Chains A and B, each alone.
Chain A
């Protein structure tokens, strides 16, 4: 793995000052490394995979790649879309949020090593090539919004505030959280992952008080109620640990 393939070139435009900079590397990630990653988490925007070559994109050093597709456009219910938009990820000597606009910095992606996703070299990968066990990191909600802010600006020079980007993705992100929680409990109780996901899909699409739970997630004020229902359902099925 070289140390320079994701470095900014002289032709790269700098990132505008209006783009968001996280306070700390920890703010970017939900999970990093095998100790933290869980296979029950559905594949999602911001997931970084090892051993993955993006067709048509040259020299993704070390063959790391990150999903950059929007959460709403990369899924068909519980299933992934057939092809997923991804960016190559390579090592990066110095992380600067004011550096190249075409890079999404990934500081300390692995212990003591900085990486960056190259947003100008996007390509599509067949969904069946994405394996949960090959993930090396998952971005946090904030990390996903920051990724999309840079991607939008890189492609269009338009700066959209991170809170607004977060708002649009939030229903899907919360649904993924709920699915992860459901599958963790179900799998711990001996249910196969595919069956657990199918049962979650049925539950989240079911109507409750005249509205589908999935639709209710579009209102933030409803999130806590849906989470409580999930806990109650896990207990009813005998899957909850406590």
Chain B
């Protein structure tokens, strides 16, 4: 990892422009002031760039650490039986359809695993990776109280995409970043995962609870 730091400071002080003698009390020469502001602007831009690069370095470093941690936990979990892994995910609150989706199998196939039928080493590893991810997030992100709920709920109200969807497309890296990197906005996470999400999920409809108590749909501008 490369880390860049800067001790550059930008200040307007009497040392920079100290009127003396006959010039005391007069405004600073326009050219000098323009030059001064320009310098400060350059320094600010430089600081922002340094800050941005440092943030990128930290993100890459954190991604690497989380990836290593996930791999270590996955190897540990993979020692367990397939039925143990599957049932532990159920007990943690996963829906079977999500576990099946993440493992790349059907719900009936997953049910057979739960009943003790063997799975391929690759499929066992997929389940182990999900268990490991939940363990890692629980360990590293105490502010996420219910990891499975966090995985199920869309990242933004404006799009249906959830961290679970990202996992289904093998974006464990993005989910780990979303969990650990509080400086990266949800929009940036979605931009990385699904760049056209704004156009794709633009909708004229919204959900609301109808008078019968059921969720219903209406046009966004029809609310009274």
CA of A140 to CA of B95 in the docked complex: distance in angstroms? 13
Tell me if A83 is interfacial: C-beta within 8 Å of chain B: no
The answer on a CB contact under 8 Å between A227 and B152 is: no
Q: Write out the residue numbers on chain B whose beta carbons fall within 8 Å of the beta carbon of A170.
A: 215
Let me know if B90 is at the binding interface, CB within 8 A: yes
User: Across the interface, do A30 and B107 meet the contact criterion of CB distance under 8 Å?
Assistant: yes
A26 to B203 Cα, complex, angstroms: 27
In-complex Cβ contact of B90 among A30, A141, A172, A227 (8 A):
A227
Cβ A166 vs Cβ B95 within 8 A: no
B108 pairs with A36, CB closer than 8 A: yes
**Stretch of A4-12, A47-55, A101-109, A214-222 contacting B (4+ beta carbons < 8 Å):** A214-222
| Residue contact B97 to A227, C-beta cutoff 8 Å | no
Interface pair A225/B146, CB less than 8 Å apart: yes
Q: Is the CB of A161 within 8 A of B97?
A: no
Residues of A within 8 A of B154 (CB): 220
- Give the contacts of A203-226 with B (CB-CB under 8 A): 218, 220-225
Distance, CA A229 to CA B83, complexed state (A): 20
B87 engages A242 (CB within 8 Å) = yes
Contact of A167 among B97, B108, B152, B215 (CB under 8 A): B215
Q: Are B201 and A224 in contact (CB under 8 A)?
A: no
Size of A's binding interface in residues, CB under 8 A:
35
A17: interface (CB < 8 Å): no
Q: Mark B109-145, 1 if CB is under 8 A from A, else 0.
A: 0000011000000000000000000000000000000
The reply to whether the CB of B183 lies closer than 8 angstroms to some CB of chain A is: no
A90 contacts which chain B residues (CB < 8 A)?
none
A218-B209 in contact (CB<8A): yes
Among B83, B87, B108, B153, point to the contact of A31 (Cβ < 8 A): B108
| A-side contacts of B97, CB under 8 Å | 30, 140-141, 177
Residue of B nearest to A215 (CB): B213
* Docked complex Cα distance between A183 and B214 (Å): 24
Q: Using a CB-CB cutoff of 8 Å, which residues 166-224 of chain B contact chain A? A: 201, 203, 205-207, 209, 214-217
A39 to chain B, nearest CB (A): 14
Instruction: Tell me whether A168 and B217 are in contact (CB under 8 A).
Output: yes
Q: Known: A164-B205, A167-B207, A228-B92. Is A221-B149 also a contact (CB below 8 A)?
A: yes
A-B CB pair tally, cutoff 8 Å = 85
Chain A residues with Cβ below 8 Å from B108 are: 31, 35-36
In the assembly, what is the distance between CA of A171 and CA of B210, in Å?
14
Quick one: which of A49-102 are within 8 Å of B by CB?
A: 72
CB <8 Å contact, B217 and A72: no
Q: B96 — which chain A residues lie within 8 A by C-beta?
A: 177, 181
Q: How far is the CA of A171 from the CA of B206 in the complex (A)?
A: 16
Does A174 have its Cβ within 8 Å of any Cβ on chain B? yes
Contact B203 A164 (CB under 8 A): yes
Q: Does A160 interact with chain B (Cβ within 8 Å)?
A: yes
Would B149 and A223 count as touching, CB distance under 8 A? yes
Q: Quick one: which of A133-176 are within 8 Å of B by CB?
A: 140-141, 160-161, 163-172, 174
Q: Is A231's CB under 8 angstroms from B207's CB? A: no
Residue of A nearest to B91 (CB): A231
Chain A residues lying within 8 Å of B83, measured Cβ to Cβ, are: 242
What's the least CB distance linking B195 to chain A, in Å?
18
Closest chain A CB from B166 CB (angstroms): 15
Q: Chain B's nearest CB lies how many Å from the CB of A165?
A: 8
- Chain A nearest Cβ from B186, distance in angstroms: 15
* CB of A182 to closest CB in B, whole Å: 13
Inter-chain CA distance A241–B209, complex, in Å, is 37
Tell me whether B107 and A31 are in contact (CB under 8 A): yes
Tell whether A228 pairs with B214 under 8 Å between CB atoms, given A35-B108, A167-B207.
no
Contact A225 B214, beta carbon cutoff 8 Å: no
Asked if B94 and A224 make an inter-chain contact with CB atoms under 8 angstroms apart, the answer reads: yes
Chain B residues with CB below 8 A from A171, complex form:
214-215
Q: Which residues of A contact B (CB under 8 A)?
A: 26, 30-31, 35-36, 72, 140-141, 160-161, 163-172, 174, 177, 181, 218, 220-225, 227-228, 231, 241-242
A/B interface sample: 8 pairs, CB < 8 A: A31-B108, A160-B205, A161-B201, A161-B203, A164-B206, A167-B215, A168-B216, A225-B146
3 nearest CB pairs, A to B: A224-B93, A163-B160, A224-B148
